[in-house]
């Protein structure tokens, strides 16, 4: 994984079994450290802390790091299945059953879709994000309501969605895209730390037009694109749009 050279390493917490950290470093082809200092060239570190895998920024090592949060966001229902009544649910479609999230990222939209009761498959091409997601989905399966309802976490496919969408066994009702758009301002005070770190580590999605074309071919009924309200529609004029706060969901129905 040469794209992470000089940017990422695994930091091993000394009290834990080193084997797990070594296996993670080997999978990502990055260094493994037990301690770091100011001379360390990497900016980001993966490390197990507080029972979960976290992505740490060197400048904020003592502040806990970033983790795939399996808890509902503010305003989201905690019941399962949650009511399908927000802008995202309307965009996904009343008759939709199967959804593929082709740009899973930190998994917040994915987990919201999952909690609404859709049959969800997630795709993530960043090996770093895939490790964080896998850890989050494992933790999700241990939550009481998941165990009581005998539910399994969403299926996670690792790799480039442009290629993987063409290999799906059946066409999903909906393919959901949330590509990274360039920020409106160079340094926005409103930018979430998780997005700043992700952009710094991975860069913008330069191939989102190709991803949209692949999604339109692979979907059974519709493609939903989440975008900032200032961005041009990714696939031209959408069939319909649903607006949230500072964003919108463009829906492209398949003929």
First-to-last C-alpha distance (Å) of the chain: 39
pLDDT attached to residue 214:
97
Local confidence band at 186 (pLDDT 50, 70, 90 cut-offs): low
C-alpha angle 3-215-184 in degrees, rounded to nearest 5: 60
Local confidence band at 78 (pLDDT 50, 70, 90 cut-offs): confident
Mean pLDDT (whole number) for 82-98: 95
pLDDT attached to residue 202:
66
Residue 2: pLDDT above 60? no
Residue 72: pLDDT above 90? no
Per residue in 12-62, pLDDT (tens digit) is 977 667 899 999 999 999 999 998 887 888 988 999 988 999 999 887 666
CATH 3.90.1150.10 fits 87-253, yes or no: no
Per residue in 206-225, pLDDT (tens digit) is 789 999 999 999 999 999 99
pLDDT attached to residue 195:
65
- The mean-pLDDT minimum among 22-26, 199-203, 250-254 falls in 199-203
Per residue in 127-171, pLDDT (tens digit) is 999 999 999 999 999 999 999 999 999 999 999 999 999 999 999
pLDDT attached to residue 255:
80
Per residue in 93-127, pLDDT (tens digit) is 999 999 999 999 999 999 999 999 999 999 999 99
Residue 190: pLDDT above 50? no
Query: What's the pTM value of the predicted model, to 2 decimals?
Result: 0.90
Residue 241: pLDDT above 80? yes
How many of the other CB atoms lie within 10 Å of CB of 111?
27
Residue 1: pLDDT above 50? no
- Say if CB 77 and CB 145 are below 8 A apart: no
Name the nearest CA neighbour of 171 among 131, 121, 229. Answer: 121
- Structural Rg of the chain based on CA atoms: 19
Mean pLDDT (whole number) for 65-84: 85
Distance CA 104, CA 78 (A): 21
- Say if CB 143 and CB 70 are below 8 A apart: yes
Within 8 A by CB and 6+ apart from 3, the residues are: none
Biggest alpha carbon–alpha carbon distance for the chain: 57
Q: Which whole-number Å values give the CA distances from 169 to 172, 218, 249, in the listed order? A: 9, 10, 26
Q: Please indicate whether residue 68 or residue 194 has the higher confidence score (pLDDT).
A: 68
Tokens for 146, please give them. Answer: 């998941």
Give the position of tokens 């940017």: 7
pLDDT attached to residue 62:
67
Secondary structure string (H, E, C) spanning the chain: CHHHCCCEEEECCCCCCHHHHHHHHHHHCCCEECCCCCCCCCCEEEEEECCEEEEEEHHHHHHCCECCCCCCCCCCCCCCCCCCCCHHHHHHCCCCCEEEECCCCCCHHHHHHHHCCCEEEEEECCHHHHHHHHHHHHHHCCCHHHHHCCCCCCEEEECCHHHHHHHCCCCCCEEEECCCCCCCCCCCCCCCHHHHHHHHHHCCCCCHHHHHHHHHHHCCCEEEEEEECCCCCCCCCCCEEEEECCEEEEEEECC
What SS3 class is residue 61? helix
**Domain spans of the chain, in order of start:** 2-63, 87-253
């Amino acid at each position: 994984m040469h794209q992470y050279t000089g940017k990422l390493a695994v930091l091993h917490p000394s009290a834990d079994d080193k084997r797990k950290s070594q296996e993670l470093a080997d999978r990502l082809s990055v260094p493994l450290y037990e301690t770091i200092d100011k001379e360390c060239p990497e900016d980001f570190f993966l490390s197990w802390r507080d029972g979960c895998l976290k992505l740490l920024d060197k400048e904020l090592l003592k502040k806990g790091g970033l983790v795939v949060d399996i808890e509902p966001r503010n305003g989201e229902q905690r019941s399962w299945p949650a009511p399908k009544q927000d802008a995202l649910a309307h965009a996904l479609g009343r008759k939709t059953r199967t959804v593929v999230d082709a740009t899973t990222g930190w998994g917040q939209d994915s987990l919201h879709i999952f909690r609404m009761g859709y049959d969800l498959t997630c795709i993530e091409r960043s090996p770093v994000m895939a490790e964080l997601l896998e850890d989050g989905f494992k933790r999700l399966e241990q939550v009481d309501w998941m165990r009581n309802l005998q539910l399994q976490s969403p299926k996670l496919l690792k790799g480039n969605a442009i290629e993987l969408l063409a290999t799906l066994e059946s066409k999903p009702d909906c393919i959901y895209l949330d590509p990274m758009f360039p920020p409106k301002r160079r340094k926005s005070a409103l930018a979430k730390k998780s997005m700043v770190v992700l952009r710094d580590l991975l860069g913008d999605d330069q191939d989102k037009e190709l991803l949209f074309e692949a999604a339109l071919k692979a979907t059974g009924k519709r493609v939903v694109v989440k975008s900032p309200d200032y961005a041009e529609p990714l696939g031209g004029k959408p069939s319909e749009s649903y607006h949230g706060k500072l964003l919108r969901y463009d829906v492209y129905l398949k003929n």
